[in-house]
Amino acid sequence: MPQFNYENPKNVDGSGIGTPEDRLFQTVLELLVYEGYRAVTEEALAERGISPALAAAYGSPEELCGAAVQDAAERITIACESAAEDARLYLASKKYTKDFSYMHLERLLYRYIYLCFHPKNRVYVLACAQESQLLPEWKELLTDVMQREFADVLTELILAAGEVKNRQMAAVMACAVCGCVTAFVQQPGFCKKVFREATGEDPNYAVAEDFLNNMLLRMIEANTGINKPF
């Protein structure tokens, strides 16, 4: 598996983002996430190879940022829908068993962790996590997508697996899953330092994915077992 590579959010084959509009939206989102709304200027975009005419076609900087966030929401929706497809079909069947529920939980967690850890997706993870960098309407758009396309599915799977059906705790655990995974994406330098100090080596996706998946499954099982107090 590849090493952590959060500094280079390119496509899997190492190429840049596809169309000029794709590159524009990616660049705007990176500026929003790493430097804030005020950093999205014509000069900053030109320095990154974006045509002033292309950016100007969207009107004001706010309109351009809104279009980039909308594009991000659509990409996140497609990715999460794909990751959660099996889980949705299982939940729709209404025929739950503990073993099958945990099987689908494991699959969903692995797919979500992989999506978040992939270098080309880092900017989308950070956009969803760094709410203070976004205007209220953009924040609401991204949080709605994450709730609807991932957290709600995860919450229902937790309830399907749990012997104690507690919706509040299931929702808390869904939030905890997102937070645990995002920590590795938000603080890659810190995570690298911890791994290097302990092992003398860089972390890699396989180690972190397996650890997170196992830890999160154990957390869910421990908190949904029969007669467990909440």
Q: Which CATH superfamily is domain 20-224 in?
A: Tetracycline Repressor, domain 2 (1.10.357.10)
In this prediction, residue 166 carries a pLDDT of: 87
The H or E element that residue 16 is part of is none
Question: Residue 17, class by beta-carbon neighbours within 10 Å (0-12 exposed, 13-18 middle, 19+ buried)?
Answer: middle
In this prediction, residue 176 carries a pLDDT of: 94
Among all chains, which residue has been given the structure tokens 């967690």? Answer: 109
Nearest-10 Cα torsion for 160, 225, 176, 73: 0
In this prediction, residue 2 carries a pLDDT of: 34
Contacts (Cβ under 8 Å, ≥6 apart) of 219: 173, 176
CA of 171: how far to CAs of 32, 35, 153, in Å?
29, 31, 10
In this prediction, residue 229 carries a pLDDT of: 55
Ranges under pLDDT 70 in the chain: 1-17, 226-230
In this prediction, residue 5 carries a pLDDT of: 43
Structure confidence by residue, pLDDT tens digits, 133-162: 788 999 999 999 999 999 999 999 999 998
